[in-house]
Structure 1
Amino acid sequence: MNQFLSFVRKEFYHIFRDPRTMFILLGMPVILMIIFGFALTNEVKNSDIAVLDHSKDATTSSLIAELEASRYFNIEKRLRSYEQVEEEFKKGNIKMAVVLPQNFGSDLLHLNSAQVQLIADASDPNVASTLTNYASAIIMDFQNRITDDRGLPYTIDTEMRMLYNPQMKGAYSFVPGVMAMVLMLVCTMMTAITIVREKETGTMEVLLVSPVQPLKIVTAKAVPYLLLSLINIATILMLSYFVLDVPINGSLTLLVLQSILFTVTSLALGLLISAITSSQQTAMFISLTGMFLPALMLSGFMFPIENMPTILQLLSHLVPAKWYYIIVRSVMIKGAGLEAVWKETLILSGMLLFFLFMSIKKFNIRLS
């Protein structure tokens, strides 16, 4: 036991002596969480639009005021002719134009019918679709109020209900994915260089001839990073709750335990990478390109996996971040319990055992 604790203490000394390592372990998760939490969002807000008002009556003024009052639009231009619309699009000054025809207010009040033309820049189809949907919803709400909710012939009232995220905040979707990406990146990358560092400094030979079993050596190297990762988990959850306003609807205990399971899995994967490489640069390159990109592209939080080709869907099953993302989204956002995430928990547990077994097996070698 004393030998094991000595190895743990030695690994802590390696970490504390290097300020860059401390920054990566404790500072990078906070920075990444804040940057990605605010930058990665599928919400479209404060988009510059133009308005061409041919009617210029009280009704159009009220409608334009409602568009400008929303957090989605910023009226950048008030156009005087239809020819200016395409000109502003070509300049890149606006993303959408709202064209209001003559007699708009009169037609709406007396004929219960009026037309609005929404012209969007479809060079980015997702943004164009989102902006037109936002504008259509504001216009429909405006029509219902100005007509005093009078029933119109063949009118269908549609009631929408958004479960778990009624305000449609992008952070609800991206925070679980960012949590998975940050934990996997930091834990895997930092542990990937531990054994390689011993090889490069020549101390691996001393470890191999020591009476300590390979299992204890591998475990001793992972313990300091696990303890520091617990701090990262607490920091990430507090940033999510207090800074990004993402609630924890499920069990906090279950969420923390699942985060620890994912962290240990990432640590074991990092140890495996360090055991099969011979230089720190190679280990870091593999952990960044082989882990970060799959966690970003194939975990499901940025791009829907069901839209991908079959081969990529199959490859996504090998990415631990995918299963952790499902767990966090289910527990944190939906308030689900263990009965809803037991399958993902078993998969992560299986990956942990596999990575740990392979790490020990590859570690127990003789240096030539």
Structure 2
Amino acid sequence: MKQFLSFVRKEFHHILRDRQTLLILLGMPIALIMIFGFALTTEVKNARFAVLDFSKDNATREITNEMETSRYFDLAAEIHGYNEIEDIFHKGKAKLILVFPPSFESQLQHVHNPQIQIIADASDPNVATTLTNYAGNIIMDFQNRYNQERKYPYTIQTRVRMLYNPQQKGTYSFVPGVISMILMLVCTMMTAITVVREKETGTMEVLLVSPVSPIKVIVAKAVPYLIISIINIISILLLSYFVLEVPIRGSLFLLMSESILFTITCLSFGLLISTATDSQMMAMFISLTGLFLPTIMLSGFLFPIENMPKALQVASNIFPARWFYQVVRAVMIKGLPLAAVWKETVILGGMAVMLLLASLKNFKTRLA
């Protein structure tokens, strides 16, 4: 028994000395339960909406206030004409717009049948459907209270208009997310594994003493995965357009350029992981659990970022997939030009440069 306890104690010492293993055993479960616990929900909260109010009477102000004070909506802007609607959606300032006709309260009192138009950004059809249902319920609650105070049965009709995806096809949001996941998986994980494999087998040192510089060795490792990723991008776009009938409304050249930029960012991430690990299993674990899963959860692909606590919303900014998903949806589904996605492009470019420089510096420090 004493010998058995000594072996147990020795194993504990090994685990405590290995900080990477200790972080995985204790830190990763906490991180995953926090991410999944707060992000895994079908409820949409804190969605930004705008108001186009041609009436500006007590009834429209009351409905707007009820929308704003609910936990589902935050008032982002008050616009003054139909020509501002596209601009609001293009800039991502709102996901839903309420349009009140002129003399809304007068129509409610005398005609008893006014209309409210609800315009939603349906590039994410699930979110758009949920938000229009929330808005419809709030308007219905207002109508019921209004009827309780008066003699006649007043009815408010809501007309829903879905922009960018009138048929509310789920593939419109599915395809951009799949592109992000495939590129992240192929580029990041496979690049990290292929470099670590050379380190494990001892062939990396042989490559480094060759006439080729270390930087060229690392870049040569990444180039095949860049080419494979470009082939994947082309095949996904072809299948999306011809089989799934997802339109490419924006510039195909811009979409390919943004995809290649995201690919380079993912390759740089993989190189950085490879320089920080010494085994293929550790590189795969960090790529999958530490990067791939949080990227899916925090990119906005499966669950709206607005639903999450502020801490997770801030943390989502460090994942390239969040910015790339916004770019693909804007260019592919909405047909927006580079001027509408320049901020996301700059962020992705900055990430690619910083990650590549960090990975090359760490690589030369450890192996050169």
CA distance, structure 2, for counterparts of residue 212 and residue 200 of structure 1: 20
CA distance, structure 2, for counterparts of residue 278 and residue 328 of structure 1: 35
- Structure 2 residue identity aligned to 1:352: A
CA distance, structure 2, for counterparts of residue 249 and residue 366 of structure 1: 47
SS of the residue 1:245 aligns to: coil
- Structure 2 residue identity aligned to 1:159: R
Deviation at 1:212, TM superposition (A): 2.0
1:213 corresponds to: 213
2:37 corresponds to: none
1:354 corresponds to: 354
SS of the residue 2:162 aligns to: coil
Contact 1:208–1:366, Cα closer than 8 Å, also in 2: no
- The correspondence of residues 49-68 of structure 1 with structure 2, limited to 5 A, is none
CA distance, structure 2, for counterparts of residue 307 and residue 239 of structure 1: 32
1:322 corresponds to: 322
2:304 corresponds to: 304
- Structure 2 residue identity aligned to 1:174: F
Determine if the alignment matches structure 1 residue 255 to structure 2 residue 252.
no
1:224 corresponds to: 224
Contact 2:186–2:225, Cα closer than 8 Å, also in 1: no
1:46-83, CA deviations, whole angstroms, 9 ceiling, x for partnerless residues? Answer: xxxxxxxxxxxxxxxxxxxxxxxxxxxxxxxxxxxxxx
Deviation at 1:347, TM superposition (A): 0.3
Larger radius of gyration: 1
Contact 1:188–1:270, Cα closer than 8 Å, also in 2: yes
CA distance, structure 2, for counterparts of residue 366 and residue 166 of structure 1: 55
2:199 corresponds to: 199
2:156 corresponds to: 156
Aligned-residue Cα RMSD (Å) equals 2.7
1:174-226, CA deviations, whole angstroms, 9 ceiling, x for partnerless residues? Answer: 22112111111111111011211111111111122223222111111111111
| Structure 1 gap segments, 5+ residues each | 1-41, 43-125, 137-151
Contact 2:193–2:284, Cα closer than 8 Å, also in 1: yes
CA distance, structure 1, for counterparts of residue 189 and residue 321 of structure 2: 14
Contact 1:185–1:291, Cα closer than 8 Å, also in 2: no
SS of the residue 1:161 aligns to: strand
SS of the residue 1:244 aligns to: coil
CA distance, structure 2, for counterparts of residue 230 and residue 265 of structure 1: 14
- The correspondence of residues 1-368 of structure 1 with structure 2, limited to 5 A, is 154-365=154-365
Contact 2:187–2:225, Cα closer than 8 Å, also in 1: yes
> Which stretch shifts more, 173-182 or 297-306?
173-182
- Structure 2 residue identity aligned to 1:266: C
SS of the residue 1:347 aligns to: helix
1:302-337, CA deviations, whole angstroms, 9 ceiling, x for partnerless residues? Answer: 111111111101110001000000000100011001
1:268-302, CA deviations, whole angstroms, 9 ceiling, x for partnerless residues? Answer: 11111111110111111111112211121000111
Q: Which has the higher contact order (CA 8 A, sep 6+)?
A: 1
CA distance, structure 2, for counterparts of residue 220 and residue 346 of structure 1: 25
CA distance, structure 1, for counterparts of residue 310 and residue 214 of structure 2: 40
- Structure 2 residue identity aligned to 1:269: F
SS of the residue 1:160 aligns to: strand
CA distance, structure 1, for counterparts of residue 160 and residue 357 of structure 2: 50
Kindly tell me: are residues 288 and 340 of structure 1, through their superposed partners in 2, closer, same or farther at Cα, counting changes over 3 Å?
same
1:89 corresponds to: none
| TM-score of the two chains, using structure 2 as the length reference | 0.58
Fraction of identical pairs, as percent:
68
Contact 1:194–1:271, Cα closer than 8 Å, also in 2: no
CA distance, structure 2, for counterparts of residue 191 and residue 166 of structure 1: 40
Contact 2:249–2:331, Cα closer than 8 Å, also in 1: yes
CA distance, structure 1, for counterparts of residue 250 and residue 309 of structure 2: 33
- Structure 1 residue identity aligned to 2:188: T
- Structure 2 residue identity aligned to 1:231: I
- Structure 2 residue identity aligned to 1:238: L
1:225-246, CA deviations, whole angstroms, 9 ceiling, x for partnerless residues? Answer: 1111110010111121122221
| Structure 2 gap segments, 5+ residues each | 1-41, 43-125, 137-151
Deviation at 1:253, TM superposition (A): 0.7
CA distance, structure 2, for counterparts of residue 318 and residue 227 of structure 1: 25
